[in-house]
Amino acid sequence: MSSYTGNRTGETPGKMFGGWWKSGALMDILIQYWYFTGDISNNPAVDQAMHYHQGENNDYFSENWRYYIHNDQHVAWGHAAMTAAEVDYPPIPSEPAWSTLAEGVFHSQISRWGNESCNGGLRGGALPYQKRK
């Protein structure tokens, strides 16, 4: 957790150096860590990040990152929500269930499914103008 500064005053919750997806992957790992060890010391940081990035439509397609999100990055947050649902991670009061958030990511991504090439699939970029370099 020494590399994660998102839980410090003035920093962006759920943001790590090197990519938005890494933060989603970290939250997934910390949820699994809680499940296997029972250690709740990281739960406040997980709760803060998972809530902060859940987005206006509960799909982790947040206004904060919408123009930078690629589909593979987006799914990292969906995996974290799905893991939370599967291991019965404590819910955040007054927030949607973890399964609802994971389902939101699924519906958000499936709406971008394209059949234009490769017999169908998701492009790298979540938005049409995004291109991978």
Residues 6+ apart with CB under 8 A from 116: none
3-state secondary structure of 116: coil
Query: Per-residue pLDDT tens for 90-111?
Result: 999 999 999 999 999 999 888 7
Q: How far apart are CA 102 and CA 77, in angstroms?
A: 8
Residue among 37, 36, 30, 39 nearest 79 (CA): 30
User: What's the pTM value of the predicted model, to 2 decimals?
Assistant: 0.83
Asked if 86 contacts 103 with a C-beta cutoff of 8 angstroms, the reply is no
Query: Per-residue pLDDT tens for 46-74?
Result: 999 999 889 899 988 877 766 677 777 88
Query: Per-residue pLDDT tens for 11-35?
Result: 777 676 667 788 899 999 999 999 9
- The CA–CA distances, whole Å, from 113 to 39, 116, 123 equal 39, 9, 8
- Residue 129: per-residue pLDDT: 56
Residue recorded with tokens 């590399």: 3
Q: How far apart are CA 22 and CA 73, in angstroms?
A: 8
Question: Which ranges in 1-133 belong to alpha helices (H)?
Answer: 20-37, 43-52, 71-86, 98-110
